[in-house]
Chain A
């Protein structure tokens, strides 16, 4: 049994595996499959100040080793998340969760963060400045370093919990984005969000997704995520939670070798509801086989190259 425990700002996790926001609802849906207390933490469904229904259907399309989604930040709003969703989760999960915050203006992020960061179950906030599926909703903050820094600074000023910023891969220079949010006071970085993509119907020529474009995720984007985590972790000194296409314990370990201090599992939860517990078990088995006693011994192991 290798030691899998990792400590990150606001999070003392029994293992580094976290279901990613938007693929795990508010957690309780998965309690009918397994004991979710096995998880290091969990990233809640993106939450906005007001309730949002999201985009028209279809919201989902498939691609090679992955899927395209354009949900559009459907959520019941911050007050319902705090008073209803988290109360449903409370009896099922004892560790701290990461609340994911979306918005379309700095004031929205600030107000949502102010409220969520007071919740006793919330260990940290994750700022979604990279949702590609909402018009005027987040992505402009995620592609412009000055705006990313501005929203980070504003949220940091009001948050009672550590703040992680979720970066978009849809930029020319992700290191520039990472340095901007670090400079603005971010306690950590989570990356990567989805890659913007499309699929079309052959007969009609119409995009399959009603929103036309969607965010691509799944094993297809794994090497892109590895590259970006490798680059960012060499440039910043705050911890990075790596995600993007992780589907196995092997993938999770590779992501940590690339430099991530913990990992998030997204899409794979949708294909296999047991993905996270399987990945935790596989990580343990692989580390045992490799003769590694502590997960920290592999974090950033690629840095020498």
Chain B
């Protein structure tokens, strides 16, 4: 679970805070768990939601411009299986943590949790096209960084 939270938070301390907050929610809403999914999956979902709430709480959103045209839809179909790398988990995570906060959350929700853009837009309260474009930018930035790192080795 801490691994999950680490993806969302820029530092390990903040990740731990998210995890602790998440577990508190888990315990208080345990009685309403409907067993539609397995327990760890449900807990993970709560962690993600907690991370999103934390993000919303201190939004330093860089998304000042709402992008209303659907630009470059091509990249928005990526779900992460096409980004291949030789890097280790630790390195990839470090890159993810380096990302600006809003890119990171969009990237995570899309690739790891496989939210649709529509869902991400709803959760974050932004326009769907904005989300797509930011995802595309995040992805390009990440690919770039990955290439850099791989060439260093």
Same complex: no
Binding site for B on A (CB under 8 A): none
Binding site for A on B (CB under 8 A): none
